[in-house]
Structure 1
């Protein structure tokens, strides 16, 4: 009887020992992981990385720890090591769908950090195999194609994607941008290439008749084809429908109007816009310069003076006023040099504040379209 009691007690002792030993072991595997999360909250990446390494060494099943560890390597500028860590997780057969998606998102970021955009796209497409309605994956693929200037694939992804509602302005932009690329590659006399570019532009404006990009490149197309009346028509549409973008087409518009013998029609058009929006600096400044060409110095002076009052930080209108008041050749030459220096235009994205020296329809920083305007 005593022996039986002893055996029962011994068995209970073994069970308790195994229970508490395994529980303690489990706790020690999670302790460094919890400390790593605290370190991440404190922005202590070095300590976080150290604790994450300890955690996965104790317990290799900590999926999230591996993800965070790889992310830290990428943040440190080692996307190759990050991808190696993340890639090792793809061999695990027990991953849940949300874990698989998280893993492929991490791998896509690794690939982008390593300047491998096509590899990143392949990882994002794996996400879409898991969840066809994952709009974030579609968005990232679009952004990558936009960065690559691959507008043909942008169109495919956008039209096949689950975007609801679709942004027809962006879709029209893709077709117009693709048409521009076709025009740049088309040699003179390549009628098939010209026809293809024209069809793309027509589709762009069918999708969104008000597309600034579509109208601008359509005007460029007809100007290049020496169909100046059609070119002027599209430039005039931008002036009338989007006077805030008149700065974009005024040199083209004035050139084709001159060649068509319609130069005198420009002043009334600019006067109308200036009357409707006195703060349209580009149109006002161009109007005053046209007054000067017609020797209407008084009208030019009035416009420059109004612009100087509305835009006190802008020097250009003040320089033009000074030029009107002097006939000294040396002073005029010096003022011309100053004006030429200041005329180096910059453009600012209204969505994110990104500033560029050359105008573009797509912001490379926030991916907004038709968002740039001149910095005054």
Structure 2
């Protein structure tokens, strides 16, 4: 096996079980490993540290897999990791109210670059590292064996693949193609989702808990759901008895799906307004109309894909939240989120404080949101904690 030797003093992160070794930490590579090949990672004194995927094209030169030198990275190793990940989520799907969740979450499950989401009887895969790409056939075989899905669909169209020198892919890997609108259930609410043409892996199951938490505040209220996508927060608000829900998204397909989801659950469209628009533009239009809401949800896409984009993202988050705060009466609630891993919760709170100052508003933090248990965070990999949110009361 090819050996990768680190520079003196660069072994600390590996000893602390952090799964990334950056290219600047490498001293020597003994051999010519292919991108995605498993290598032995050694400290400068030649002490064994771990096995990991090597990739000379990536800034993360080695993605660590296994710290036990006696283990072999083979099909059995992958099967054990996948079985453990699936078993840890079994209770999420057990009560019958939910049949969709994340089964494998990359580094959190010791499989860097592999995301597996379950949607009813179908699986959606995102393969984001060259190492997982090289093990793809074994992984598909294991998932078939463990879960007996109707079909496995490839949604590896994320820009992250470019950093690993991989082309984006999207299509059927095994079994049947999912229907254009697949019916799934989350917290007792029925959704039509579009795996092939939808965003990310097909549905944002990382907001499952937060949708239910926020819904408890919406009975009898007017709700504005921004970046609504297929209607997670909107539908939970309807179920909780909201007086009226306005959903805003720029995607026509997302809003078509939302309308179907309203019908599927038997909610009254008389109490629904659906608007296709850029959210920031629509928030300014609401202000000009003198429109006010009781509860507003701001769940934007990732504004900061990396730390280099942090300043620009901070301005975008501040402006978005400033506009949202201006549409709330005294006592109104703002549920605001960031899915940017580069924005930690303390930075996000500071951005919100700036937005409140610019909006001339006093606010209280009522509750803090995070990602659900099927998106766990390894204590040695805090970067996995990407989703954070705040429930704010405007005074």
> TM exceeds 0.5?
no
For CA contacts below 8 A with separation 6 or more, give which structure has more relative contact order: 2
Q: Looking at secondary structure, tell me which structure has more helix per residue.
A: 1
User: What's the TM-score once normalised by structure 1's chain length?
Assistant: 0.30
Which structure is larger by alpha-carbon Rg, 1 or 2?
A: 1
